[in-house]
Amino acid sequence: MVCATDRYDVCVIDTNPNPDIRYAAAMIAADHVLSPIQLNQEAIDGIGALFNHARYGLGKIKATFNPNLNFMGILPNLVEPTPFQRNNFAQIVRHFPQHLLEIQSMPKLFALIQKRSVIAEAQASGQFVADMRKTAARDTWREIKPVLDLIARKLSKEA
């Protein structure tokens, strides 16, 4: 019998953010959890459930089914420079700084991925952003690469 771990270094399981059986199954099968969130009120309100939901929270899954599950952090994405999103990000920094991916310690900067139209263009055309021949793509790749490098370093430390 061939095991997935024999064939793949990384497998990304993308679930909806609502605690349910699919979400739980992904965490039971995973070694690492990264929680990308949008900076809307619903997502911020859901952070507590991610950790503490009675049936599907990270704490319950880790204690009951997968003691080796590693929570890598919260990654805000589709971030826009609006007062509303800045305020929501400030709330997350204030209440959950230990769960954000720290990209720089002095001054403290947390990882995030900005909303960029070139990302949607790359997805629609099936291209890798870094391979696109547009200034916007190159600029976007320069923003995203340090975040992906940080995630890769965290994964390699755990290996």
pLDDT tens per residue across span 73-122: 999 999 999 999 999 999 999 989 999 999 988 888 999 999 999 999 99
Q: Measure the CA angle with vertex 14, ends 128 and 155; round to 5°.
A: 75
Number of Cβ within 10 Å of residue 127's Cβ equals 14
Res. 5 pLDDT band, cuts 50 70 90: low
User: What's the pLDDT score for residue 23?
Assistant: 85
| Distance from C-alpha of 52 to C-alpha of 120, rounded to nearest angstrom | 33
Second-level CATH architecture of 4-101: 3-Layer(aba) Sandwich (3.40)
Domain span(s) for CATH 3.40.50.300 in the chain: 4-101
**What is the mean pLDDT of the segment spanning 150-158?**
86
User: What's the pLDDT score for residue 93?
Assistant: 93
pTM of the full predicted structure? 0.87
Reported as a single tens digit per residue, the pLDDT across 38-77 is 999 888 888 888 888 898 889 999 999 999 999 999 999 9
User: What's the pLDDT score for residue 4?
Assistant: 64
User: What's the pLDDT score for residue 117?
Assistant: 96
Name the DSSP letter for residue 68: T
Give phi and psi for 127, each to the nearest 5: -105, 155
